Amino acid sequence: MSTDTRLSAASSGERAIARAATDQTAVLIGRIGFAARGVVYVIVGWLALLTAFGSGAGAPDKQTALEAISQLPQGTVLLGLVAVGLFGYAGWSLIRGLFDPERLGHDAKALFARAGSVVAGLSYFGLALAAAQFALGSGTAGKGSDASTQDATARLLDAPFGPPLVIAIGAIMLGIAAVEFARAYTASFLKDLSLGAVGAEVRRWVERVGRMGLAARGVVFALIGVFLIQASRQRDAGQAVGLGGALQKVAEQPFGQILLGVVAAGLCMYGLFSLVQARYGRLKH
């Protein structure tokens, strides 16, 4: 074997090692991100359960969850860890949406899914930034989800072609809700998990938790989408709601406290499902 051939082979081997290390780092960041998202949703769901049983201070959102974390022992450290995880999840979502590592393609269904990933990435990036600032003592947990949603909606409504864009975002939210309902019904999420090493009973519990969690998240996204479209049609940004407002709308329905309790339990389940994804998800890169 010539010297040039040996050097080329060595160079190829080094590139392969570097690529493998990069891939492993990307997957690790994704897993940390799923874990951070899970923690936030478990806390939101728990606080919503307290509200449903009359012990809470109103419909919670993700900012409320950050405030709850800050009040725990070593809350500043925990907030910092959550911020790192949320930055990881935001980055993972943006990569999925913009660069399509999962090879979803460019048909309508794929583009819709990728658009949803981008929206999620931007949302979680803002939440991660608020968590980091809060942990560093340079801010608070940020505006509540309703205020943030209404501010963004107001800016869009005042922009050229803003109202149709708000309707489009609302439609994306409704589409995401439909996807979550479909995943809950078919349990298609199981194919994205590596559960070969766990027992049949654990698999059944993962399926139940995933179904409940995805269905509850679908309810929230559907309400956010409906009220975004209503805000555009009425040219009133105050009609828009975020996570907290969506939970409040649930509570305002007939038998609202019962419904809120069911949705809250589902959000807890979604948080647990995110933790399962962090451990067993087949993360592609």
Burial class (CB in 10 A: 0-12, 13-18, 19+), 170: buried
Query: How much is the pLDDT for 271?
Result: 97
Query: How much is the pLDDT for 11?
Result: 58
Query: How much is the pLDDT for 144?
Result: 82
Residue 2 lies in a domain: no
CB atoms within 10 A of CB 256: 14
Q: Which of 118-122, 234-238, 239-243 comes out lowest in average pLDDT?
A: 118-122
Higher pLDDT, residue 158 or 97? 158
Query: How much is the pLDDT for 206?
Result: 97
Q: Is the Cα torsion angle 32, 35, 41, 44 positive or negative in sign?
A: negative
Give the Cα separation of 282 and 193 in Å (integer). Answer: 5
Residue 197 lies in a domain: yes
Query: How much is the pLDDT for 95?
Result: 85
Q: Which range marks the domain in which residue 145 is found?
A: 26-280
Query: How much is the pLDDT for 106?
Result: 83
Give the Cα separation of 183 and 97 in Å (integer). Answer: 19
* Number of domains the chain contains: 1
Give the Cα separation of 4 and 94 in Å (integer). Answer: 40
Give percent of the chain above pLDDT 70.
89
E-assigned strand segments in the chain: none
Per-residue pLDDT tens for 25-84? 777 888 999 999 999 999 999 999 999 988 766 789 999 999 999 999 998 999 999 999
Single out the residue of 229, 230, 242, 247 nearest to residue 46, CA to CA: 247
Left (φ > 0), alpha (ψ -120 to 50) or beta: where does 54 sit? Answer: left
Residue 273 lies in a domain: yes
Residue 137 lies in a domain: yes
Residue 231 lies in a domain: yes
Query: Is 60 exceeded by the pLDDT of residue 7?
Result: no
Query: How much is the pLDDT for 12?
Result: 61
Residue 15 lies in a domain: no
The model's confidence at residue 19, banded by pLDDT at 50, 70 and 90, is: low
Residue 275 lies in a domain: yes
The model's confidence at residue 261, banded by pLDDT at 50, 70 and 90, is: very high
Higher pLDDT, residue 196 or 276? 276
Q: Are 195 and 202 in contact (CB under 8 A)?
A: yes
Residue 285 lies in a domain: no
SS3 73: coil
The model's confidence at residue 188, banded by pLDDT at 50, 70 and 90, is: very high
The pTM assigned to this predicted structure is 0.88
